[in-house]
Amino acid sequence: MSHIPISVTVDGTTYDSEVEPRTLLVHWLREDIGRVGTVVGCDTSSCGACTVLLDGQSVKSCSVLAVQADGQSITTIQGLAEGEDNWHPVQTAFKECHGLQCGYCTPGMVLATVDLLGENPTPTEAEIREGLEGNLCRCTGYHNIVKSVQYASDLMSGGAR
C-alpha cells in the first residue's frame, strides 16, 4: 500500500511522517511517535479513552485517520502539562478530587474536560455530565469526575463555587 506524507505538530513538536492512508491517528500517535499516554480503549469510538485535542477540539483519535490530521496541531495528555511540576489545572483537579481509579480513561477524560471548560468555563453538574457523556469510566460512579471538573473550573477561573 502506498504511503502519504503528513506533517503534524504534536505537543509542540512537528513530525513529518509517511503513513498508510488507513492508519488511525491513535495508532500513529502511539506506534510512530511514542505518545503512549493516548490510550487505545475500544477502537470503535465508544469509550473516549483515546481522546486528544485536535486544533483545540477534543476528538476520539480512533475515529480520525492520521492523514486527516495533516497540517494540524494535536495536544495529548503527555503535552498538556508545562513540565513535570507544572500540571494543567485539570490534571491537578483530577488528582486532588480523586477523579480517577484505574486511570485508563483518565487521559481522555482530562482532555475532554479541557475542551469542555474551554467552551463553558463554569458548567453546571448537568452540563458536565452531558459534556463528558462520550467518555466512559468503568471504575467510578462519575461523582469524583464531576467534582474534578468543578474544581478545575474553580482553579481556572480563580473563583470558588
Summarised one tens digit per residue, pLDDT across range 11-27 is 999 999 999 999 999 99
The pairing of strands 57-60 and 73-75 is: unpaired
Question: Which residue's entry shows cell 513538536?
Answer: 13
Q: Is 36 found in the same domain as 76? A: yes
Residues 93 and 55 in one domain: no
Q: Are residues 126 and 105 in the same domain?
A: yes
Q: How many CB atoms lie within 10 A of CB 2?
A: 6
CA–CA separation, 64 vs 45, rounded Å? 10
Q: Which residue, of 38, 56, 80, is where some domain finishes? A: 80
Range of the domain at 60: 4-80
- In Å, the largest CA–CA distance within the chain is 55
| Number of domains observed in the structure of the chain | 2
Same domain for 63 and 8? yes
| 104-156 pLDDT per residue, tens | 999 999 999 999 999 999 999 999 999 999 999 988 889 999 999 999 999 99
